[in-house]
Structure 1
Amino acid sequence: MEIYSVYILKCRDKTYYTGITSELWERIEQHQSGKYKNSYTFSRRPIELVYYCEFTEPDLAIEFEKKIKSWSQVKKEALIGGKYEKLPNLAKKRFK
């Protein structure tokens, strides 16, 4: 059974990169070494793996990756910090 990892990297410029892979540690090394010169992380190295979770269903992993990519930095930081109870409120718009 193949395992799919959704991961978040913290870049040198304090931004986050979210990705999906079936070979997590190999993919992290590719980011760190700058294997792909046109990638988001290339000019933002060094990177740090700050979060990952595993799925056995690729469709669920892809869906979760897309969801995280649409989140604000604050919401990503709540996920990274394990503050799951804050996630629903961070999804709501603040009206003035």
Structure 2
Amino acid sequence: MSSIRYEKETVEKMIRLYCRRKHKSAPGELCPRCEATNRYAQEKLDKCPFGDEKGACAECKIHCYKADMRENIRVIMRYAGPRMLLYHPFDYLIHVLKDRK
């Protein structure tokens, strides 16, 4: 699986986890705000200039997210990141190992 495709799947899982717990969305659905955040994140990953060579977005020197969306995704990741260990342990492990490169 390509790095970008993996990142897209992982960020969507994190957004879904956050939305389900914080916004009480139905399983498999996103509230309008989280749907917009997911769509924005997916578009940014599609346009990432580093392609499959990309590292963690938090460590990137190019900040392609608008300030409000960057803060929104930070809040989501701060909440969902630790919980990924419980809900998606394999993805969590790969994410942690990838960030150490």
Q: TM-score, normalised by structure 2?
A: 0.30
- Greater strand share, 1 or 2? 1
Q: Which has the larger radius of gyration?
A: 1
Q: TM-score, normalised by structure 1?
A: 0.31
| Structure with more of its chain in helix, by fraction | 2
